Amino acid sequence: MTIIPQEVMGTFHEVGRDLYTLGLVSSHGGNLSIRSGMGMWVTGTGTMLGRLRERHIAFVNPDGSHQGPPPSSDTLLHSTIYALTGAGAIAHAHPHHGIALSFDTDLFVPLDLEGQLHLKQVPVIEQGVVQVEQIAAALQNHLVVLLRGHGAYARGATLWEALHWITALEESAHIAWLRR
Ligand SMILES: [Zn+2]
Protein backbone atom coordinates (compact mmCIF):
# COMPACT_ATOMS: atom_id res chain seq x y z
CA MET A 1 0.00 0.00 0.00
CA THR A 2 1.28 3.41 -0.98
CA ILE A 3 1.54 5.59 2.11
CA ILE A 4 -0.45 8.79 1.85
CA PRO A 5 1.73 11.86 2.48
CA GLN A 6 0.89 13.58 5.78
CA GLU A 7 0.17 16.92 4.10
CA VAL A 8 -2.26 15.30 1.62
CA MET A 9 -4.02 13.49 4.47
CA GLY A 10 -4.23 16.69 6.48
CA THR A 11 -5.91 18.47 3.57
CA PHE A 12 -8.49 15.68 3.11
CA HIS A 13 -9.19 15.70 6.84
CA GLU A 14 -9.67 19.44 7.16
CA VAL A 15 -11.59 20.06 3.92
CA GLY A 16 -13.88 17.08 4.59
CA ARG A 17 -14.54 18.29 8.11
CA ASP A 18 -15.32 21.82 6.86
CA LEU A 19 -17.81 20.51 4.25
CA TYR A 20 -19.60 18.43 6.88
CA THR A 21 -19.56 21.12 9.56
CA LEU A 22 -20.95 23.68 7.11
CA GLY A 23 -23.84 21.35 6.26
CA LEU A 24 -22.71 20.95 2.66
CA VAL A 25 -22.80 17.13 2.86
CA SER A 26 -24.75 14.63 4.96
CA SER A 27 -22.81 12.30 7.28
CA HIS A 28 -21.92 9.88 4.46
CA GLY A 29 -22.37 12.09 1.37
CA GLY A 30 -19.97 13.72 -1.09
CA ASN A 31 -16.45 12.82 -2.17
CA LEU A 32 -13.02 14.41 -2.61
CA SER A 33 -9.90 13.74 -4.67
CA ILE A 34 -6.39 15.11 -5.15
CA ARG A 35 -4.40 14.46 -8.32
CA SER A 36 -1.04 12.75 -7.80
CA GLY A 37 1.10 12.37 -10.91
CA MET A 38 -0.97 10.30 -13.36
CA GLY A 39 -3.08 8.87 -10.52
CA MET A 40 -5.15 10.32 -7.71
CA TRP A 41 -5.99 10.05 -4.03
CA VAL A 42 -9.76 9.73 -3.61
CA THR A 43 -12.12 9.17 -0.69
CA GLY A 44 -13.48 5.64 -0.34
CA THR A 45 -17.07 4.85 -1.21
CA GLY A 46 -19.46 5.62 1.64
CA THR A 47 -16.84 7.31 3.82
CA MET A 48 -17.77 10.09 6.26
CA LEU A 49 -16.19 13.32 5.02
CA GLY A 50 -16.33 14.82 8.51
CA ARG A 51 -14.20 11.98 9.95
CA LEU A 52 -11.60 11.12 7.31
CA ARG A 53 -8.58 9.01 8.32
CA GLU A 54 -5.81 7.28 6.34
CA ARG A 55 -7.87 4.07 5.99
CA HIS A 56 -10.61 5.99 4.16
CA ILE A 57 -8.44 7.23 1.28
CA ALA A 58 -7.77 5.09 -1.81
CA PHE A 59 -5.05 5.56 -4.42
CA VAL A 60 -6.30 5.05 -7.98
CA ASN A 61 -3.65 4.23 -10.60
CA PRO A 62 -3.83 5.46 -14.23
CA ASP A 63 -5.03 1.98 -15.33
CA GLY A 64 -8.01 2.20 -12.93
CA SER A 65 -6.66 -0.30 -10.39
CA HIS A 66 -6.55 0.91 -6.80
CA GLN A 67 -4.94 0.45 -3.41
CA GLY A 68 -6.73 0.94 -0.11
CA PRO A 69 -10.52 0.98 0.33
CA PRO A 70 -12.97 0.74 -2.61
CA PRO A 71 -12.78 4.23 -4.17
CA SER A 72 -15.78 6.57 -4.51
CA SER A 73 -18.45 5.57 -7.04
CA ASP A 74 -17.65 8.94 -8.70
CA THR A 75 -14.04 7.89 -9.44
CA LEU A 76 -14.60 7.64 -13.21
CA LEU A 77 -15.97 11.20 -13.17
CA HIS A 78 -12.93 12.45 -11.24
CA SER A 79 -10.59 10.72 -13.75
CA THR A 80 -12.46 12.27 -16.66
CA ILE A 81 -12.28 15.74 -15.10
CA TYR A 82 -8.51 15.37 -14.58
CA ALA A 83 -8.13 14.21 -18.19
CA LEU A 84 -10.01 17.23 -19.59
CA THR A 85 -8.93 20.03 -17.24
CA GLY A 86 -5.79 21.17 -15.48
CA ALA A 87 -7.40 20.56 -12.10
CA GLY A 88 -5.28 19.50 -9.15
CA ALA A 89 -8.23 18.56 -6.93
CA ILE A 90 -12.00 17.98 -7.04
CA ALA A 91 -14.73 18.31 -4.42
CA HIS A 92 -18.30 17.00 -4.66
CA ALA A 93 -20.92 18.13 -2.13
CA HIS A 94 -24.69 18.54 -1.76
CA PRO A 95 -25.31 22.28 -1.10
CA HIS A 96 -29.04 22.68 -0.28
CA HIS A 97 -29.83 25.96 -2.00
CA GLY A 98 -27.74 25.12 -5.05
CA ILE A 99 -29.62 21.84 -5.47
CA ALA A 100 -32.99 23.55 -4.92
CA LEU A 101 -32.23 26.14 -7.64
CA SER A 102 -30.94 23.47 -10.04
CA PHE A 103 -34.47 22.18 -10.73
CA ASP A 104 -35.56 25.41 -12.41
CA THR A 105 -32.64 26.57 -14.55
CA ASP A 106 -29.97 25.39 -17.00
CA LEU A 107 -27.54 28.11 -15.95
CA PHE A 108 -27.29 29.69 -12.51
CA VAL A 109 -26.00 33.26 -12.62
CA PRO A 110 -25.18 34.63 -9.14
CA LEU A 111 -26.84 37.90 -8.14
CA ASP A 112 -24.27 38.85 -5.51
CA LEU A 113 -20.94 40.54 -6.19
CA GLU A 114 -18.75 37.76 -4.75
CA GLY A 115 -20.48 35.13 -6.84
CA GLN A 116 -20.32 37.26 -9.99
CA LEU A 117 -16.64 37.96 -9.37
CA HIS A 118 -15.51 34.39 -8.68
CA LEU A 119 -18.02 32.00 -10.22
CA LYS A 120 -19.52 34.14 -13.02
CA GLN A 121 -21.89 31.38 -14.24
CA VAL A 122 -22.68 27.88 -13.00
CA PRO A 123 -23.97 25.39 -15.64
CA VAL A 124 -26.64 22.90 -14.57
CA ILE A 125 -26.15 19.40 -16.03
CA GLU A 126 -29.04 16.99 -16.49
CA GLN A 127 -28.71 13.54 -14.89
CA GLY A 128 -28.28 10.83 -17.54
CA VAL A 129 -25.93 8.47 -19.35
CA VAL A 130 -23.65 11.26 -20.61
CA GLN A 131 -23.48 13.25 -17.36
CA VAL A 132 -19.83 12.28 -16.73
CA GLU A 133 -18.65 13.72 -20.06
CA GLN A 134 -20.91 16.77 -19.71
CA ILE A 135 -19.75 17.63 -16.19
CA ALA A 136 -16.08 17.26 -17.14
CA ALA A 137 -16.54 19.34 -20.30
CA ALA A 138 -18.37 22.09 -18.39
CA LEU A 139 -15.55 22.23 -15.83
CA GLN A 140 -13.11 23.16 -18.62
CA ASN A 141 -14.63 26.66 -18.62
CA HIS A 142 -16.26 26.89 -15.19
CA LEU A 143 -15.04 26.46 -11.62
CA VAL A 144 -18.12 24.63 -10.38
CA VAL A 145 -21.13 22.92 -11.95
CA LEU A 146 -24.43 21.62 -10.60
CA LEU A 147 -25.86 18.19 -11.39
CA ARG A 148 -29.62 18.77 -11.38
CA GLY A 149 -31.32 17.50 -8.25
CA HIS A 150 -28.08 16.06 -6.87
CA GLY A 151 -25.19 18.38 -6.02
CA ALA A 152 -22.14 20.38 -7.05
CA TYR A 153 -18.75 19.45 -8.51
CA ALA A 154 -15.90 21.93 -8.14
CA ARG A 155 -12.34 21.80 -9.44
CA GLY A 156 -9.35 23.69 -8.12
CA ALA A 157 -5.59 23.85 -8.19
CA THR A 158 -5.87 22.56 -4.61
CA LEU A 159 -8.63 20.98 -2.55
CA TRP A 160 -8.82 24.25 -0.59
CA GLU A 161 -9.66 26.06 -3.81
CA ALA A 162 -12.35 23.50 -4.69
CA LEU A 163 -13.79 24.03 -1.18
CA HIS A 164 -13.83 27.77 -1.87
CA TRP A 165 -15.94 27.31 -5.02
CA ILE A 166 -18.39 24.94 -3.29
CA THR A 167 -18.91 27.38 -0.42
CA ALA A 168 -19.10 30.37 -2.78
CA LEU A 169 -21.75 28.58 -4.84
CA GLU A 170 -23.87 27.83 -1.80
CA GLU A 171 -23.54 31.41 -0.56
CA SER A 172 -24.69 32.77 -3.94
CA ALA A 173 -27.47 30.18 -4.25
CA HIS A 174 -28.71 30.98 -0.73
CA ILE A 175 -28.84 34.70 -1.55
CA ALA A 176 -30.64 34.01 -4.84
CA TRP A 177 -33.14 31.81 -3.01
CA LEU A 178 -33.82 34.45 -0.33
CA ARG A 179 -34.50 37.03 -3.01
CA ARG A 180 -36.99 34.88 -4.94
ZN1 LIG B 1 -23.46 13.18 -4.44
CB 12 within 8 A of CB 39: no
Distance in Å, CA 108 to ligand 1 centroid: 19
For the chain, the domains span 6-179
Specify the CATH number of the domain 6-179.
Answer: 3.40.225.10
Handedness of CA 60, 66, 67, 70 (dihedral sign): positive
How close is the Cα of 148 to the center of ligand 1, in Å? 11
Tell me the per-residue pLDDT of 62-105, one tens digit each, with 9 for 90 and over: 999 999 999 999 999 999 999 999 999 999 999 999 999 999 99
Do 167 and 22 form a contact (C-beta atoms < 8 A)?
Answer: yes
Q: What backbone torsions phi and psi does residue 96 show, to the nearest 5 degrees?
A: -55, -50
**How much distance in Å is there from the Cα of 127 to the middle of ligand 1?**
12
CA of 176 to the centre of ligand 1 (A): 22
Distance 121 CA to ligand 1 centre (A): 21
CA of 43 to the centre of ligand 1 (A): 13
Q: pLDDT by residue for the chain (180 residues), tens digit each?
A: 579 999 999 999 999 999 999 999 999 999 999 999 999 999 999 999 999 999 999 999 999 999 999 999 999 999 999 999 999 999 999 999 999 999 999 999 999 999 999 999 999 999 999 999 999 999 999 999 999 999 999 999 999 999 999 999 999 999 999 999
- Say how many Å lie between the CA of residue 31 and the centre of ligand 1: 7
Q: How many A from CA of 150 to the centre of ligand 1? A: 6
Q: Say how many Å lie between the CA of residue 104 and the centre of ligand 1.
A: 19
Task: Give the distance (Å) from ligand 1 centre to CA of residue 29.
Answer: 6
Instruction: List the beta strands (DSSP E) in 24-162.
Output: 31-36, 39-43, 57-60, 66-67, 89-93, 107-108, 122-125, 144-147, 151-156
CA of 92 to the centre of ligand 1 (A): 6
